[in-house]
Amino acid sequence: MKKDFIAITDYSSEEIQSLLDLAVELKKERLSGANRPYLEGKVLGMIFQKPSLRTRVSFDMAMRHLGGDALYLSPSEIGLGQRESIADVARVLAGYVDGIMARVFGHADVLELARWSDVPVINGLSDYNHPCQAMADALTIYERFGSLNGLNVAFVGDGNNVAVSLMHVCAKLGANFTIASPEGYEIRPDAVELGRKIAAEKGSRVTLLRDPHQAVRNAQVIYTDTWTSMGQEAETAKRMHVFPPYQVNSALLGEASPEAIVMHCLPAHRGQELTDEVADGPHSVIFHQAHNRMHAQKAILVQLLGNRQS
C-alpha cells in the first residue's frame, strides 16, 4: 500500500525515531563522501505554489545524492486546481514520476494530491503544518542532546504551521512543548488537542502561555519563526505592533537553560523575531538546522521511494 508523508501524526513514535536514525546514517555517509544510490533511476516531481530556498534545494540535492533526479514545477506551469483539477494533476504526474513533493497554500490541496496519486506524496509545506521542517528540527535536537525525551522545547511567537508540526514531533518523541503566543495568534485548537493526546501517551505535556519569559524558563530549546508568514502580508502592520514582546534576544535567552540552543526555520527577519546577536551567537543552530532539512528529507525519500538493498 502506498505511504505518504503528509503529517507527523500519521506516523508512530517508533517510525519517527527510525526515520531520525536513518537520517543520521545517511548524513554520515554523505559526510564521508559515500553517496550510495538508494534512489537510482527514481524521479521526484516537485510542485511549488510558494517560492522556496531550503525546500527546493534540499529536496533537489537529496535526490541527486541518492542517485535520483528531481523535476521542479513552478506555479505557472501547473496552476494547481485552477488550470487543471488537483485530481487530474495527481493522476497525470503519477504516471511520469516516482514520488511527488508539494509546497502549497491550502492543506486540502496536498490531501487531494495524496488521495488521487498512485505514487507517494510528501507535504513540503501547507497552511496547516510543515512536517519536513519538523523532522529536520527533531534531527537537530537529537544530534545535540541524544534524545528528545524529557527535554523542554519552547516556541515563542505565532502559532503557525511550523509550530504545529514541532509540537507534534515533540509529543511523539516525549519532549515537553511550550508555546508563548499573543492573544489571537495561538495554535489552532484541533492541533493542540491532538498534540496533548499524543503527549499524554508519552508522558510529556503541551503548554500554552502568553508570557515568553515564562515559556523559556528551563528550556533546552528556544524556537522562533517569522511574525508574518507568506500569504499574510496584509496583516504585516498589525503584527508588527503585536509581536515585539516575543522577540528572541539575549535577555530572553538568558532566562533559558545554560545549554539552550536557538532554532529558526528561516528565512529570518533579523531585528524582528530574532536579533543578530542571538542568530549569530554561540547558542544558535539555525544554519545547522537548515542543512539538516536535506538529511532528514533523504530519510523520508529513502523510506518512501527506495530500496535500501542498493
- Cα–Cα distance for residue pair 44/63, rounded to 1 Å: 7
Sheet holding 261-264, edge to edge: 206-209, 176-180, 152-156, 221-224, 261-264
CATH of 8-130+293-305, one of 3.40.50.1370, 3.40.605.10, 3.30.70.20, 3.40.30.10: 3.40.50.1370
Distance (Å, whole) CA 180 – CA 156: 5
Q: How many CB atoms lie within 10 A of CB 237?
A: 9
Reading the chain (310 residues) residue by residue, the pLDDT tens digits are 789 999 999 999 999 999 999 999 999 999 998 889 999 999 999 999 988 999 999 999 999 999 999 999 998 888 787 788 999 999 999 999 999 999 999 999 999 999 999 999 999 999 999 999 999 999 999 999 999 999 999 999 999 999 999 999 999 999 999 999 999 999 999 999 999 999 999 999 999 999 999 999 999 999 999 998 767 788 888 999 999 999 999 999 999 999 999 999 999 999 999 999 999 999 999 999 999 999 999 999 999 998 643 3
133-290 sits in which CATH class? alpha beta
For the chain, the domains span 8-130+293-305, 133-290
The residues annotated as belonging to the active site are 103, 130, 133, 225, 265, 293
Cut 0.75: pTM above it = yes
